Amino acid sequence: MSAPLDVSDEVLSGEAVAIDVQPVGFLLRAAGAIIDMLVGFGVFILTVFLRIWLLDVGLLDEASDRIALVASIVISFVVLPITMEVALRGRSLGKLAVGGRIVRIDGGATGFRHAFIRALLGVLEIYMTLGGVAVLSGAFSARSQRLGDMVAGTYSQRVRTPRLVPSEPVLPPSLAGWAQIADVARLPDRLARRISQFLQSAPRMVPAARARVAQDLLTEAAPFVSPIPPGHPEMLLVGITVLRRERERRALQIADRRAEKLTGRRVGI
């Protein structure tokens, strides 16, 4: 049994659907940060070899070498993280490895401003302190946020989650008799899609909002369904969806058989 979802880890959509947004755990995030640190140091070492070669061939002197050193530090530990995070939409090599992505607190996508703040503070909390400040802030924050995340208003969200198998609704037994005489053919396709989407997200909805949306959808569907049996609004929506889907499936099967017969006749001719 999984632990109950904390309120701070929920985002409510316009229909009051509580969306489970899972932050990357502390250990996984630390592993991703180590990968990113190694990448940064790897680029810095390459720039060191490049500076040594330029000094040997006489293209750099001591003054210009000091400028090149500052530039290589900025490129390796500031420009590179910003570029990767913006280009990969909140990701880096380390986050790709652990299945994470940097998002805003409200779950939205980050931009250049967020990446810039995180990279600047990352120099302090990751490279200048060898990750000490980042470890302390990440260990004692609810979403494993480092200092740069707290200032930028971001956190690392888990995006590599198990794929859920969609389940089709089943006709309630109490509606079996109604299904034999019901007419749902006039139900508009757009309304049918909205009902189907509601049934898929209903288990994650706030109970009061779930009941309200179910009643609103049933009221909207009532003019196109005959007859309307007594029962719980959500149960009736399940019955309407299942009946309409079954009749559409049968209609497609009949159309396919007719097409096969016509094709066979033409081949025989």
Query: Mean pLDDT, to the nearest integer, of 68-89?
Result: 92
pLDDT value for 250 = 80
pLDDT value for 29 = 86
Q: Within 10 Å of residue 268's Cβ, how many Cβ atoms?
A: 6
CA–CA separation, 143 vs 138, rounded Å? 8
Q: Which of 218, 219, 216, 81 is nearest to 152 (CA)?
A: 81
pLDDT grade, residue 15 (50/70/90)?
very low
The residue ranking higher by pLDDT, 140 or 20, is 140
* Mode of pairing for the β-strands spanning 100-104 and 18-20: unpaired
Looking at the fold, whether 139 and 178 belong to one and the same domain comes out as no
pLDDT value for 5 = 40
Looking at the fold, whether 143 and 189 belong to one and the same domain comes out as no
pLDDT value for 16 = 43
pLDDT value for 7 = 39
Looking at the fold, whether 29 and 78 belong to one and the same domain comes out as yes
| Domain boundary residue, one of 106, 126, 158 | 158
Average confidence score pLDDT of the chain: 82
What residues make up the domain containing 212?
173-268
Looking at the fold, whether 151 and 228 belong to one and the same domain comes out as no
- Judge if the upstream peptide bond of residue 166 is cis by omega within 30 degrees of 0: no
Looking at the fold, whether 186 and 123 belong to one and the same domain comes out as no
Q: What is the pTM of this model?
A: 0.54
Instruction: Please report whether residue 12 resides in a domain.
Output: no
| Domain boundary residue, one of 124, 158, 192 | 158
Instruction: Please report whether residue 168 resides in a domain.
Output: no
Instruction: Please report whether residue 1 resides in a domain.
Output: no
Domain count, the chain: 2
Whether residue 109 has pLDDT greater than 90? no
DSSP sequence for 185-231 = TTS-HHHHHHHHHHHHHGGGB-HHHHHHHHHHHHHHHGGGSBS--SS
Q: Which of 117, 142, 141, 138 is nearest to 129 (CA)?
A: 138
Looking at the fold, whether 154 and 177 belong to one and the same domain comes out as no
Whether residue 264 has pLDDT greater than 50? yes
pLDDT value for 268 = 54
pLDDT tens profile 220-256:
999 998 888 888 999 999 989 988 888 878 877 777 7
* 171-202: burial string, b at 16+ Cβ within 10 Å, e else: bbeebeebbeebebeebeeeebebbbebbebb
| Domain boundary residue, one of 109, 135, 158 | 158
CA–CA separation, 31 vs 223, rounded Å? 57
pLDDT value for 265 = 58
Query: Mean pLDDT, to the nearest integer, of 207-211?
Result: 89
Looking at the fold, whether 239 and 135 belong to one and the same domain comes out as no
pLDDT tens profile 125-158:
988 888 888 888 888 887 888 989 999 999 888 8
CA–CA separation, 133 vs 59, rounded Å? 39
